[in-house]
Chain A
Amino acid sequence: MFARLNGFDRSLTDNFMQLESEMDRLFQAAGLRSRNLTSNHSSQPQMHIGSTESQVDIYLPVAGIDSKAVTISLEGNQMTISGQRDLEKSESAKLVKKERFEGQFHYQINLPDDVDQERVEASYEQGILHVKIARREAAKPRQITIQ
């Protein structure tokens, strides 16, 4: 019931509206429901969630984190991604501009009901956390032959 993996990532502070719009997209892609999408304009990279018949992919942009500082868990159809981003400190240099996110991050994502708890993969590359969740065979559309 409960799959837990350690891996990856951290992310910039995305606001709730962004997450919500991504969730809308997921629902739409999964054919579950559709709401009006919020505006696509953003000053920060967004989480992308894509769904096909066989898998769901989550792409979370979170540059420069220690992948060991990320926890990914899946309970039922609810995925939680949380972690910590620590920025390098310098004794000799003066910080003249600070915009980059630092601290904890936490995402909660509702996935389709047919995700397979046992087949979750995560990777962290070039600052993007990619979580791939397989969907169960039974949920795939089947061709019914009329006898």
Chain B
Amino acid sequence: MSHQQEVVAKEKSVAEKRANSYQSVRPRVDIHEDKEGITLLADIPGVSREALDIQIDNEILSIDGRVELPLPNGAKEGYAGNQITRYQRSFSLSKELDGEQVEATLKDGVLALRIPKRQEFKPRKIEIRTA
């Protein structure tokens, strides 16, 4: 291996080390249920829309968000400890919830997911016909 290659390999390993070094957090959630569906609120402070990934696959809802604190000028190695936090949590959705209709909003580090019940599980009012 030439010297040049060695340097490249070394730089890459430092970058990888930084990318793989994070504090893993299971975000705390509140879940509200009403007749029409559920609202899931998760605390993920620092996560921007761009750094948030929400997926539904096979009735598993996954939340994955990442925060990286900025480094000021003059910061040395080890400044403020671990600069990266990763929020990860998964939920299994019950059959009555419609994973196709999820709405997500993010404000001040709180993620709100509105998941409606499937039409057939929503309460229906039965009209009584006059004879």
A97–B48 contact, CB under 8 A?
no
The complex places the Cα of A94 from the Cα of B39 at a distance, in Å, of 10
Q: For chain A residues 118-141, which have a beta carbon within 8 Å of chain B?
A: 124, 126-128
CB contacts (< 8 Å) of B48 on chain A: these are 126
Q: Is A93 an interface residue (CB 8 A)?
A: yes
Main secondary structure of the interface of B (DSSP, over half): loop
B77 to chain A, nearest CB (A): 10
A99 to chain B, nearest CB (A): 4
Which residues from chain A sit less than 8 Å from chain B, CB to CB? 12, 22, 25, 28-29, 40-46, 48-55, 57, 59, 61-65, 87, 90, 92-101, 124, 126-128
A63–B43 contact, CB under 8 A?
yes
CB contacts (< 8 Å) of A12 on chain B: these are 28, 43
B41–A100 contact, CB under 8 A?
yes
Which single member of A29, A43, A53, A128 contacts B46 (CB below 8 Å)? A128
B72–A52 contact, CB under 8 A?
yes
Chain-A contact segment, one of B6-14, B56-64, B105-113, B116-124: B105-113
A126–B108 contact, CB under 8 A?
yes
The complex places the Cα of A65 from the Cα of B110 at a distance, in Å, of 9
CB contacts (< 8 Å) of A64 on chain B: these are 43, 107-110
The complex places the Cα of A86 from the Cα of B87 at a distance, in Å, of 22
The complex places the Cα of A45 from the Cα of B71 at a distance, in Å, of 18
Q: Could you list 8 examples of A-B contacts with CB < 8 Å? A: A22-B81, A29-B80, A42-B23, A45-B23, A45-B45, A50-B69, A50-B80, A63-B108
